[in-house]
Structure 1
């Protein structure tokens, strides 16, 4: 059944629903009447089959301790095969309550205090906290930016790996720059990890959100050798707007590593899912394909609208063409404002809340991250506000 774009055009009131995106925005950004275009949280209803399944479970009325169902494993296995042509075993899957907590568990279970962990910046800002809060040593491998796109600097990566380096955290598709790493890029980084005996933690939470002409390749699918050192973190949460239900999983082909992580979770009594998490995973993966196809098209059209609006009426701002995610990376380097001045301008003048690029690392200080997974009218309002503030600026000729 084809999903109409009117499903995504629907404006849903989210204020006063305990929404971090909408109810906390003014306080977090220290402004008033801000339009939230920030955190990676969609303003769309989940697919109807997911909502129907939740209603049925709620109507049952009993929410006791759940037990894992093998049908969830089957749904996950078929999803990754169908979408990424990746063969996994049901026994490779470890269910968790979120990708970020999962990465923290892996860091704690497989590295020691003081060990070096590499991240590729600018990158999803919790990566910094995960390394630092666990008292590991952060090693940065900045991406190369040529003014239009980002690539990996593998020569630099090779130079910063030492005998103390134990792990690399990969972000694919990359948040915030929107790259979907190609096979040859993944092969090169995997080769370095094998050469230096590094564990590879791959955050692939945006794997389903890739645009036409692009293909997500799980790095663990490259070879058995790569798979044996890789922890692939996935979830239906970004794909189907289910983050609040805290559902995710980690695919681990190495049985020794899988057992070690399971023991870590069991020791801390973190092995049980909530009553809704596995339900929504199974239903979304079994019945969400058409919805996802329509979502990608809608988000891409929103990107084209933003791109055209900036080019025609705000030429000192430019947006990188995304290969994946629903997050735009907007280059503000020609705006003539410092990062702190731009932050104040967006909040006080434009009344738009975006994620300021500097939180992703110093390499992102000239950028803003904009979430366009929302109805077109919301994107249009954001552009109107931005244009009004832009027109009030004075530029040197």
Structure 2
């Protein structure tokens, strides 16, 4: 079994890398240590790069279609990693998860319809709703014993007959919750009773730590399966976000056909050659690499947890159950987000994510990306510790 080296430092500057080369644009400072954009600083796995190189040797990059092996790779991966039996006829495409969410909103609702979003949450959710002229309904998560959970009483109070969709983030970003079966059953009961379709962003579904299990929303019941849409991708798991290839799973035949028609209007369904090849290689050969990655990421988290406890006792860490993103609570410092970000940039020379962008509940929080070599994380933590000391 091959052993992978996640300690390797790979130079990403001057590659048009958003995470490194756009620091001055976003933070007005080019010299920061970046732990903000949600991609990893690890080498894209060898089995993916080899598949891409092999195809690149054929020097015609014309129109292509997705072969049977592409669908078989997805079906096999879902069965092995999530114990989920899916069918080829459920699998569609999107250039990205956010694009899929947006097309889902456009397909299954109309302008003015209500769409539920549960902040603090991945900030493009808000853009998807507002940009399509739907009515944003905020159902903030509850913070209970250092962990988020759904506020179902608030949800029931806010929805009405014009509420058509709920955008679910599972696993949750930025908190790292892997929603339990009990939590998901409670949420889906409310949605089923009120005929609210769930569009579930499950892009982090492979990044699950020991003791937790990702539950695809479609597996909860026949009623939920027939009234949901799931978006997934290998992009976070295997560090191939630049290939813009995601998958959409819609078990309901009529809803699948409606989404496919919408996808076809923009001629988006073909995707790109190398994105399809990377996805197939990842889902065919990626198990060993992912298992080693998860072990490394967890050790990174334990390093962060220990450091914060020792050197930043006023900061609370939300323990992630999945993802390589960690949610840090700086509210004890009584700093507004603008002030907190300014301090972190100027004093710690770090680029982290502003918690305020994640909506209600994000004030006074920062998100840090631990998907990096341990030496990078150690440097970031030392900077943070010195700045707040």
Normalised by the length of structure 2, the TM-score is 0.98
Give unpaired runs (5+ residues) of structure 2.
Answer: none
Matches of 2:67 and 2:294, distance apart in 1 = 30
- Number of aligned residues: 389
Residue in structure 2 matched with residue 68 of structure 1 by the alignment: 66
After the TM superposition, which parts of structure 1 deviate over 6 Å for at least 4 consecutive aligned residues? none
Residue in structure 1 matched with residue 319 of structure 2 by the alignment: 321
Deviations 1:228-255 (A, max 9, x none): 0000111111100011001111111100
Residue in structure 1 matched with residue 298 of structure 2 by the alignment: 300
Verify the 8 A CA contact 1:32 1:351 in the aligned structure 2: no
Verify the 8 A CA contact 1:307 1:318 in the aligned structure 2: no
Matches of 2:23 and 2:67, distance apart in 1 = 38
Residue in structure 2 matched with residue 395 of structure 1 by the alignment: none
Matches of 1:332 and 1:221, distance apart in 2 = 37
Matches of 2:84 and 2:93, distance apart in 1 = 18
Deviations 1:96-129 (A, max 9, x none): 2111001101111111110000011100000000
SS of structure 2 residue aligned to 1:308: helix
Matches of 2:195 and 2:145, distance apart in 1 = 33
Residue in structure 1 matched with residue 200 of structure 2 by the alignment: 202
Verify the 8 A CA contact 1:95 1:250 in the aligned structure 2: yes
Q: CA deviation at 1:269?
A: 1.4
Equivalent in 360, 365, 368 of residue 367 of structure 1? 365
SS of structure 2 residue aligned to 1:202: strand
Q: Does residue 107 of structure 2 align to residue 109 of structure 1?
A: yes
Q: CA deviation at 1:188?
A: 1.1
Verify the 8 A CA contact 1:210 1:296 in the aligned structure 2: yes
Matches of 2:47 and 2:265, distance apart in 1 = 36
Residue in structure 1 matched with residue 153 of structure 2 by the alignment: 155
Deviations 1:196-224 (A, max 9, x none): 00111000000000101100000101122
Equivalent in 81, 86, 89 of residue 88 of structure 1? 86
Residue in structure 1 matched with residue 183 of structure 2 by the alignment: 185
Q: Does residue 18 of structure 2 align to residue 3 of structure 1?
A: no
Deviations 1:166-212 (A, max 9, x none): 00000000000110000011111111111000111000000000101
Residue in structure 2 matched with residue 235 of structure 1 by the alignment: 233
State how 1:1-397 maps to structure 2 within 5 Å.
1-4=1-4, 7-146=5-144, 148-391=146-389
Verify the 8 A CA contact 1:72 1:278 in the aligned structure 2: yes
Matches of 1:68 and 1:304, distance apart in 2 = 41
Normalised by the length of structure 1, the TM-score is 0.96
Deviations 1:297-320 (A, max 9, x none): 111111110111111111111211
Over aligned residues, Cα RMSD in angstroms? 1.0
Verify the 8 A CA contact 2:312 2:388 in the aligned structure 1: yes
Verify the 8 A CA contact 2:335 2:364 in the aligned structure 1: no
SS of structure 2 residue aligned to 1:18: coil
Residue in structure 2 matched with residue 394 of structure 1 by the alignment: none
Q: CA deviation at 1:31?
A: 2.2
Matches of 2:97 and 2:10, distance apart in 1 = 27
Matches of 2:171 and 2:363, distance apart in 1 = 21
SS of structure 2 residue aligned to 1:374: coil
Verify the 8 A CA contact 2:78 2:84 in the aligned structure 1: yes
Q: CA deviation at 1:147?
A: 5.0
